[in-house]
Amino acid sequence: MNRIIHISDLHFGRQVPDIVVHLMLWIDEYEPDLIVITGDITQRATTRQYRLAQTFLKQLNHPYLVVPGNHDISIHRLFRRFHHPWNRWRKMICSDLEPVFQTDQLFAGMINTVRLTGYRLNWSRGRVNKTQTERLIKRMADVPKTAVRIIAAHHPFWLPREEEHRHLVAGARDALPVFQAAGVDLILGGHIHTGFTHVEGGMIICHAGSTTSDRVKGSKTNSFNLISGDKNRLDIRRIQWDGTGFFSEAVKRFKRTAAGWAGK
Ligand SMILES: [Fe+2]
Ligand SMILES: [Fe+2]
């Protein structure tokens, strides 16, 4: 059985130290096979914030995969943004912008949806393109049929109605059927700082909130996900911060059917 922790939007520079301490305790207690980190690990992509994120990653005693979010490239230092946007990421966080992890029971592949510019004024909106989806599908070609297949990116491939103003990652509508045909089980994401699970095209889409930052508004809370199971059954528990500690919501159970995954 696989055990995965999904955290997101750490936003180092705006991290809440107490939450970081509690998160580390939960990680050590859960003993995950893999930690998936879906972007925005810094607040403003400064070198100081990259160092904080690097220190955090070095303290993880378990394998992890990390992918950038829109906050992880500079918005003020335009020379850096356009000429060497990923230098510090590659040196301090991960040499690969789209790393993968594989065991007999699990495949996880990251997609970098961050773009330096966009067609719209708001450059924080991401994109996934055909080259990226095809590369990932090729990497999955020799994954055993019994292994859980996970894709993770910063930007959302599906949104709850109340979050639709945040917009899907551009290219989502083309990418989802390709993922479905490739037997993808689970798509993990962040960006909107809201945790949810949803089944779309027989795949489970699961987001974590901002796990460790003070960038939470209204009824939103800091959160992360504990995911366990195999190709026939997956359990997802959202873990939320209540101001003094993390607590677990009721588990959400998903079962494989002939039409893909079912559950809420
Ligand atoms: Fe974020
Ligand atoms: Fe973001």
- Centroid of ligand 1 to alpha carbon of 261 (angstroms): 28
Q: Considering the chain, what percentage of its residues have pLDDT values greater than 90?
A: 86
Counting Cα atoms < 13 Å in the Cβ hemisphere of 232 gives 1
**Residue 45: pLDDT band by 50, 70, 90 thresholds?**
very high
pLDDT at 214: 94
Domains: count for the chain: 1
Maximum Cα–Cα distance across the chain? 51
Q: How far is the CA of 259 from the centre of ligand 2 (A)?
A: 32
Token representation of residue 233: 């059954």
> In the prediction, which pLDDT does 120 show?
56
How many whole angstroms from 28 Cα to the centroid of ligand 1? 24
Ligand nearest to the CA of residue 212, numbered in listed order: 1
Place of tokens 């393109």: 129
Q: What percent of the chain has pLDDT over 70?
A: 94
Q: pLDDT tens, 79-106?
A: 666 667 799 999 999 999 999 999 999 9
3-state secondary structure the chain: CEEEEEECCCCECCECHHHHHHHHHHHHHHCCCEEEEECCCECCCCHHHHHHHHHHHHCCCCCEEEECCHHHCCCCCHHHHHHCCCHHHHHHHCCCCCCEEECCCEEEEEECCCCCCCCCCCCCCCECCHHHHHHHHHHCCCCCCCCEEEEEECCCCCCCHHHHHHCCCECHHHHHHHHHHCCCCEEEECCCCCCEEEEECCEEEEECCCCCECCCCCCCCCEEEEEEECCCEEEEEEEEECCCCEEECCCEEEEEECCEEECC
pLDDT of residue 79: 62
Report how far ligand 2's centroid is from the alpha carbon of 187 (Å).
16
Q: What pLDDT sits at residue 218?
A: 84
Cα of 133 to ligand 1 centre, how many Å?
Answer: 23
pLDDT computed for residue 89 by the predictor: 96
Q: What is the pLDDT of residue 257?
A: 96
Could you report the per-residue pLDDT of 181-200, keeping only the tens digit for each? 999 999 999 999 999 999 99
- Ligand 1 centroid–CA 204 distance in Å is 21
Residue 75, pLDDT above cutoff 90: no
Ligand 2 centre distance from Cα of residue 104 (Å): 32
pLDDT: which is higher, 198 or 125: 198
Residues surrounding ion ligand 2 at CB below 5 Å: 40, 69-70, 191
- Quote the ligand 2 centre to 24 CA distance (angstroms): 22
pLDDT, one tens digit per residue, over 235-262 is: 999 999 999 999 999 999 999 999 999 9
Residue 200 CA to ligand 1 centre (angstroms): 23
| Contact by Cβ (8 Å): 9, 37 | no
Domain hosting 240: range is 2-262
Give the domain CATH number at 176. 3.60.21.10
Tens of pLDDT, residue by residue over 129-184, are 999 999 999 999 999 999 999 999 999 999 999 998 889 999 999 999 999 999 99
Query: How many Å lie between the centroid of ligand 1 and the Cα of residue 124?
Result: 10
